[in-house]
Structure formats: C-alpha cells, structure tokens
C-alpha cells in the first residue's frame, strides 16, 4: 500500500458528486445567424414559406411542414404581439430577470404565424389569452447578436385580440 498518510477519519463517505458537463460550440447556421445579426440592430426578422405564405419566427431556415428552404426575402416583424398561452412559474431558475412568481408566455408576434416563447412582466392575476404585449428591450448600448436583447414582454394598452386570431396556437 501507499506510504502516504491516510486522511483524517471523517465518518463514512455516503454521497458522491458525479457532475456531467458537456461543452459544445453551438453554430447558429445561416438562418439563425441572420436572425441574430438583425437582433443586434433591434430588428425581428421572420421567414416566409413559399408554399403557404406562413411566416416563421424564429426560423430555422426551412419549413417544417413542407420541407422547403425559406430562402425568400426576410419579413420584418413588429415587437408587439398577442399572448396565445401562458404559464405561471413559482420555482426559481437561473438567469431569469423577473421575480417569482412570474409568467412565461407563447407570443404570436404581429405578422408572424408561429409562437415565440418568452417572459411576461405582469401581475400573475392579470395575464390572459389574447392579451396584447410588447417587447421590453435592453438598453441599446447593451444589444448583442442575442435573443437576450429582449428582456421580457410587457402588457400594452390595446384591446384583446379576438380568439380566432390565435386559436391555432393553443
């Protein structure tokens, strides 16, 4: 056996730390890189399907329904939209800039035909489907090519969107 001195006795070892750590370099690809580059200028770029005209945001560069490339001109979207569905979160998660309880929402941006998952800064008793919301951006000097430029969404003083306008997303 080793001639090194045994460690002090500290009672039996009962727990083992077994962290799993995976280090990736994520490549955004052409489509998302374009979207993220536009984010750095405060723009939300969607892509239109050439088959049925639906606008995807965020877009992965191809239509998941028709399997065709979304290679037409990008479509600039408003930073306003409609809450399709929501969930109230009461368990903390790292890096969320809102205090508990907070709201996660699926937002249909005006001009888009897909939902964007984001945070909503709002009294949890007030959130509802059809609620009109707008993006709260970080200060312009902090913008990077990241979706984190939008901190969260906030309610705006507009009448609720009609159910038919978002029912396909719930």
Partner 1 sequence: MSQIEKALTAPHVIEYTYKRSLGPVLSQFFTALRERRVVGVRRKDGTVLCPPKEYDPDTGESLGDMVPLKDTGVVTSWAWVAKPRPQQPLQKPFAYALIRLDGADTPLLHAVDAGSESRMKTSMRVRARWADTTTGAIRDIACFEPVD
Residue 9 or 90: which CB sits closer to partner 1? 9
Query: Binder to Zn ion among 28, 40, 51, 100 (CB under 5 A)?
Result: 51
Helices (H), 53-169: none
> In the bound complex, what is the minimum distance in angstroms from residue 114's beta carbon to partner 1?
19
Query: Binder to partner 1 among 46, 49, 63, 74 (CB under 8 A)?
Result: 74
Residue 61 or 111: which CB sits closer to partner 1? 61
Helix or strand (DSSP H, E) at 47? strand 44-48
User: Which tokens in the block code for residue 168?
Assistant: 């396909």
Return d(Cα 113, Cα 46) in angstroms, integer. Answer: 10
Return d(Cα 38, Cα 112) in angstroms, integer. Answer: 16
Q: The dihedral of CA 117, 99, 81, 139: what is its sign?
A: negative
Backbone angles phi, psi at 106, to 5 degrees: -100, 115
> In the bound complex, what is the minimum distance in angstroms from residue 141's beta carbon to Zn ion?
38
Residue 68 or 170: which CB sits closer to partner 1? 68
Instruction: Name the segment binding partner 1 (CB under 8 A); options: 50-58, 71-79, 98-106, 160-168.
Output: 71-79
C-beta separation of 135 from 153 below 8 A: yes
Q: Which does 117 bind (CB under 5 to 8 A by kind): Zn ion, partner 1, none?
A: none
Q: Binding of Zn ion at residue 65 (CB under 5 A)?
A: yes
Binding site for partner 1 (CB under 8 A): 1-2, 4, 6-7, 9-10, 12-30, 32-34, 36-37, 71-74, 145
């Amino acid at each position: 056996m080793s001639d090194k001195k045994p460690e002090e006795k500290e009672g039996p070892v009962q727990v083992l730390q077994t962290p799993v750590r995976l280090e990736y370099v994520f490549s955004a690809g052409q489509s998302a890189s374009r979207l993220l580059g536009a984010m750095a200028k405060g723009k939300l770029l969607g892509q239109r399907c050439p088959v049925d005209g639906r606008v995807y945001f965020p877009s992965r560069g191809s239509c998941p329904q028709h399997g065709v490339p979304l290679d037409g001109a990008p479509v600039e979207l408003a930073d306003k939209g409609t809450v399709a569905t929501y969930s109230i979160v009461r368990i903390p998660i790292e890096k969320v800039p809102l205090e508990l309880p907070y709201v996660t929402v699926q937002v249909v941006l005006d001009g888009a035909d897909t939902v964007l998952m984001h945070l909503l800064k709002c009294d949890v008793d007030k959130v509802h489907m059809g609620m009109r919301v707008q993006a709260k951006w970080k200060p312009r000097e902090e913008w990077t090519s990241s979706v984190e430029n939008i901190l969260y969404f906030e309610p705006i003083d507009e009448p609720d969107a009609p159910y038919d306008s978002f029912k396909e997303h719930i």
